[in-house]
Amino acid sequence: MSGETVKKLTVYTLAEDYTGYDSLFWASFGISFLLRIESGGGKKTLLFDTASDPEPILHNIRLLELSLEDIDAIVLSHRHFDHTGGLAGVLREIHRMDIPIIVHPRIFDVTVNDVPYLEPHRSRLFLNEGLSGENRKDNITSLGGRWFCVKDPFPILPGVMTTGEIEDEEKVSYERDPHLNLFDIKDGGLIKASAVDDISLCINTSGGLVVITGCSHAGIVSITKKAIRLTGTDTVRAIIGGFHLINANDELIDRTVKDLEEMRIERIFSGHCTGSNAEYRLRQVFGERFERLHSGKTIEF
């Protein structure tokens, strides 16, 4: 998509783990962004992830005076329930057939928690993926979703594409282990979860690149480097999303922040699974160019 740019991008945080201070917005474990994009093809609206549940999204979108009915396509960053849990509820509100849902083909694989005992308060015992229950593949199809299962980078609009799968060879060495206490069921065995289905969005604005991530299980540095390669622009205006450094040690946090600094990222908007240690370090290094995400936060480019 080299050369194609979007004229205007507005990112609305429909749901995030934090409400913001003194706020009427609701929090929800996970992430959901609504993206208003003005490009050569006119004005389009994308939904990126659907957090854990639809209710906070429906409440917050009303406060933002926006509508889910305008959504042209949905992108799901990966299978975890805090990014896919609200999908069926959102589709019921859109109330239209043939809504493209862009995902990695391995999003339907089964991931389990390593919970060795019963926890009655957990409704999702064992299963960590969100495309089960009312969000299962066939039910989503009957609610109007049309699955686009694509492993490669996928162009959505002029200037907008997914990263596709980020393969191990494309990653910086220290991001090859996604540090998840989860297991995938494969060929009858349990293997350490690889989060192979993790994809992000690259949006090429006239002033540079904006990268939108879910949990960044593929690694925020590797994701950003791939977005730069795909778009052919090395001016990164912003990276926005969860960076999954919540369980990372100081060494991994320092290497990540140093590499983001070397890439001269202009602004960072992060929260969710980034973790307070990494947020503290990002704030130290990026100062006011780092901002904590929260439900209702609106970012304009």
For residues 204 and 213, which CB has a smaller minimum distance to Fe ion in the complex? 213
For residues 1 and 17, which CB has a smaller minimum distance to Fe ion in the complex? 17
For residues 51 and 260, which CB has a smaller minimum distance to Fe ion in the complex? 51
Q: Strand pairing partners for 211?
A: 202, 239
**Phi, psi of 93, deg, nearest 5:** -75, -35
**Total Cβ atoms within 10 A of residue 44:** 19
Stretch that binds Fe ion, among 18-26, 73-81, 155-163, 251-259 (CB under 5 A): 73-81
Contact 32, 293 (CB under 8 A): no
Dist. CA 57–CA 285, nearest whole Å = 32
Contact 298, 10 (CB under 8 A): yes
Does position 15 bind Fe ion by CB under 5 A? no
Q: Which of 53, 82, 175, 184 binds Fe ion (CB under 5 A)?
A: 82
Site string for Fe ion, 197-216 (x = CB under 5 A): ------------------x-
Smallest separation, CB 216 to Fe ion (Å): 9
Does position 16 bind Fe ion by CB under 5 A? no
Interface positions, 216-235, toward Fe ion (CB under 5 A): none
Smallest separation, CB 51 to Fe ion (Å): 9
Site string for Fe ion, 94-113 (x = CB under 5 A): --------------------
Strand (E) positions, the chain? 8-15, 32-39, 42-48, 73-75, 99-103, 111-113, 145-149, 155-157, 160-162, 182-186, 189-192, 201-205, 208-212, 236-242, 267-271, 290-292, 298-300
How many of the chain's residues bind Fe ion (CB under 5 A)?
A: 4
Enter the tokens of residue 20: 């913001």
Smallest separation, CB 283 to Fe ion (Å): 21
Smallest separation, CB 50 to Fe ion (Å): 12
Enter the tokens of residue 237: 């205006």
Stretch that binds Fe ion, among 77-85, 94-102, 126-134, 276-284 (CB under 5 A): 77-85
Q: Strand pairing partners for 299?
A: 11
Smallest separation, CB 244 to Fe ion (Å): 7
Distance of CA 296 to the CA centre of its chain: 16
Does position 184 bind Fe ion by CB under 5 A? no
Enter the tokens of residue 177: 């282990």
Interface positions, 232-291, toward Fe ion (CB under 5 A): 273
Does position 53 bind Fe ion by CB under 5 A? no
The amino acid that residue 297 corresponds to is K
Contact 17, 52 (CB under 8 A): no
For residues 181 and 298, which CB has a smaller minimum distance to Fe ion in the complex? 181
Smallest separation, CB 267 to Fe ion (Å): 21
Does position 80 bind Fe ion by CB under 5 A? yes
Strand (E) positions, 51-181? 73-75, 99-103, 111-113, 145-149, 155-157, 160-162
For residues 36 and 104, which CB has a smaller minimum distance to Fe ion in the complex? 104
Binding site for Fe ion (CB under 5 A): 80, 82, 215, 273
